[in-house]
């Protein structure tokens, strides 16, 4: 029964008893246990990554009115394994004139940058790697390693198409990191901490209200910026069949290309997990506190839903031009994110005081919480309405300017 309530503690104590029984020192046993935990966790994530290959192929097949993998194993679930074998057996090619060290290191860093992110993800109340009080800063820093791997791949390939693809992708990622970081500050303001564990717990202790109800616009901005950071459609400017072919990884073959592909799939699921932790309560659900394994199931289910939304967008929306993409970020998304952050901070301070007064005057927690949630949600709705009106006015001015130019040319 204790295993169900705290599985990590039970496994740790059993391994510690076993190793010390073999005559190992306590610190050696602890070090080996931690290393084993890291290896097992990475292996579990990589197995999940293999499953995501099948999930993505089946989902896109349904979107496009196809069957998808259906031959190898039941429902084609074992199809990723022959694909992996094929990638391993393919010839490993390094282009002539390529810088071998960064060329070979880039795909490893691309996948490693995603694995690093899982160190701070709280899978359940008692199942997590490390509780950093600056976990959101760690998220941004570890994600930057992926940006480095892309520019390394494009530059080291000795290919102009790869270099152009890398430049375009890095410009995309650096640009959309700004609204993403600003969106990350919204849960920080609401929870009063940058720790992902604290942010997740705040969505349970704060009346059980998920942050997506308090700041739906913040969740949307983070999702858009995450899709752009992933380089997925409509922001997949690392690829362009008529311009740069496959972009920064055009010269990669075999398992090196497989590492880039695996990193992309796992990164999408990882961002689904961050959306779940930041805005959808993370591992919280019925009996999740008593049974951490059930909490881990809730977290994976929510992360899978976020991953499904990312797939939905990718296979529905066409690619946009790079100038339109950058204009959308710098002229619209970034200013909107900063305004939302200021509105959230001010309204959170005001409504927290109002909530305290209502709770003190009525003696009940429900009315103050309802006023707080309603006020925060309405502030988002009003900001969206103002934004739409500003965009409509701007579009009207541009149409009038075009009409005036045409009339002037006709005269």
pLDDT in tens, 340-370: 999 999 999 998 888 888 877 776 667 788 8
The tokens describing 54, both together, are 């099948």
User: Rounded to 5 degrees, what are φ and ψ at 122?
Assistant: -80, 105
Contact by Cβ (8 Å): 255, 88: yes
As a whole number of Å, the end-to-end CA separation of the chain is 87
Strand ranges (DSSP E) for 219-367? none
At 241 the pLDDT is 58
At 338 the pLDDT is 94
At 206 the pLDDT is 66
Contact by Cβ (8 Å): 276, 296: no
Beta bridge partners of 127: 124
Q: How far is CA 321 from the centre of its chain?
A: 23
CA–CA dist 296, 200 (Å, integer): 13
Neighbouring CB atoms inside 10 A of 89's CB total: 9
CA–CA dist 148, 84 (Å, integer): 26
At 243 the pLDDT is 62
Instruction: Using CB atoms within 10 Å of the CB of residue 297, give its burial: 0 to 12 exposed, 13 to 18 middle, 19+ buried.
Output: middle
Q: Which residue stretches of the chain have pLDDT < 70?
A: 1, 206-207, 237-246, 363-365, 411
For CA atoms 213, 288, 6, 49, give the dihedral sign. Answer: negative
């Amino acid at each position: 029964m204790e295993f169900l309530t705290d599985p990590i503690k039970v496994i740790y104590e059993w391994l510690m008893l076993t190793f010390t029984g073999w005559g190992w020192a306590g610190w050696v046993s602890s070090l080996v246990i931690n290393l084993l935990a890291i290896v097992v966790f990475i292996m579990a994530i990589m197995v999940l990554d293999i499953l995501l290959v099948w999930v993505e192929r089946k989902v896109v097949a349904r979107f496009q009115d196809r069957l998808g993998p259906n031959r190898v194993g039941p429902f084609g679930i074992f199809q990723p394994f022959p694909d992996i074998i094929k990638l391993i057996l393919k010839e490993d090619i390094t282009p002539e004139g390529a810088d071998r060290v960064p060329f070979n290191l880039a795909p490893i860093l691309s996948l490693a940058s995603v694995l690093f992110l899982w160190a701070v993800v709280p899978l359940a109340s008692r199942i997590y790697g490390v509780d950093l009080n600056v976990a959101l800063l760690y998220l941004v820093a570890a994600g930057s390693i992926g940006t480095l791997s892309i520019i390394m791949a494009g530059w080291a390939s000795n290919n102009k198409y790869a270099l152009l693809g890398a430049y375009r992708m890095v410009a995309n990622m650096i640009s959309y990191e700004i609204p993403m970081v600003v969106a990350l500050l919204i849960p920080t303001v609401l929870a009063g901490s940058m720790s992902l564990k604290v942010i997740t717990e705040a969505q349970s202790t704060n009346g059980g209200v998920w942050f997506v109800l308090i700041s739906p616009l913040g969740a949307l901005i983070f999702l858009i910026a995450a899709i752009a950071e992933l380089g997925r459609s409509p922001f997949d400017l690392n690829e362009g069949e008529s311009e740069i072919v496959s972009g920064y990884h055009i010269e990669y073959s075999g398992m090196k290309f497989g590492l880039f592909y695996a990193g992309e799939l796992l990164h999408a699921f990882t961002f689904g997990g961050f959306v779940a932790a930041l805005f959808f309560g993370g591992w919280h659900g019925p009996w999740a506190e008593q049974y951490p394994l059930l909490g881990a199931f809730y977290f994976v289910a929510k992360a899978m839903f976020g991953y499904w939304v990312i797939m939905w967008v990718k296979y529905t929306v066409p690619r946009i031009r790079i100038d339109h993409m950058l204009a959308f970020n710098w002229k619209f998304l970034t200013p909107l994110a900063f305004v939302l952050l200021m509105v959230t901070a001010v309204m959170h301070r005001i409504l927290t005081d109002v909530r305290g007064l209502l709770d003190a005057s009525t003696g009940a927690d429900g009315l103050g919480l309802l006023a707080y949630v309603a006020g925060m949600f309405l502030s988002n709705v009003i900001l969206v309405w103002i934004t739409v009106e500003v965009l409509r006015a701007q579009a009207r001015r541009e149409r009038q300017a075009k009409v005036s130019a045409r009339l002037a040319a006709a005269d």
